Each structure stands twice: as C-alpha cells, then as structure tokens.
Amino acid sequence: MAWVFVILGGLFETAFAVSLKHSEGFTRLWPTVSFLVCAVISFALLMAGLRELPVGTAYAAWTGIGAAGTAIAGMIWFGDSAAFLRVASVVLIVAGVVGLNLVGSNAL
C-alpha cells in the first residue's frame, strides 16, 4: 500500500505544478487553491508512504513521478518542446525510478 501512496503523491505533485503554472504567480484564486490542496495531499501521501519505505527510494520515486508527469503535461498542454532528447530524458527519469524500486533496500 505504501507504493500506492507514493505513486498517488507523485501524481498530485504533477497536479500542483500544473496548478502553479495556471495560478499566474498566485494572482488567480482557483488555480492557487488547487495548488495548495494538491500540495498538501501530495505531501501527506508521501508521508504515508514513508512509514514503510526507505526515505531515499520513496522520495526519488515521488519526485521522479512528479518531474516526469509535469514534463509530459507541459508537452501536452503547454506547448513545451517534445524533442527527442527531451522525451528520452523523461524516459531516463522513469528508468531511474524503476531501477531504484527493483534494487530496493536489500542492495549491497
């Protein structure tokens, strides 16, 4: 269940980053409220996941999901470049998160 919390927290991290973009420097009320709500939920879910997972692995997964999700959202909804190197970099982030999870806390 801890991984579910971390994954959902990473998705809420993506949501708070997108909301932050829409808030236009906290000048728009509802995107600002969305940012605050998503940020609190994201951190609460990370905290719940940290009860059972190693901090380094959980935090790396949480930030990786958030970073990759935000980059993908930028490419889809904000017109950010979808150049090959950018997409390959997102794939490397995901590969790093998967690698950390495969190694787990039993590695030497």
Tokens of 90: 């997102």
Distance between CA atoms of residues 63 and 103, nearest Å: 18
Q: Which residues contact 23 (CB under 8 A, 6 or more apart)?
A: 31, 32, 34, 35
Residue 108: predicted pLDDT: 46
Q: Which pLDDT score, from 0 to 100, does residue 72 have?
A: 96
Structure tokens at 61: 């997964």
Residue 93: which domain range?
A: 2-106
pLDDT at 17: 97
Per-residue pLDDT, 106: 57
Predicted model pTM: 0.88
Q: How far is it, in rounded angstroms, from Cα 11 to Cα 8?
A: 5
For the chain, residues with pLDDT lower than 70 are 104-108
Q: Mind listing the pLDDT tens digit for each residue in 9-23?
A: 999 999 999 999 999
Domain count, the chain: 1
CA distance 24 to 51: 35
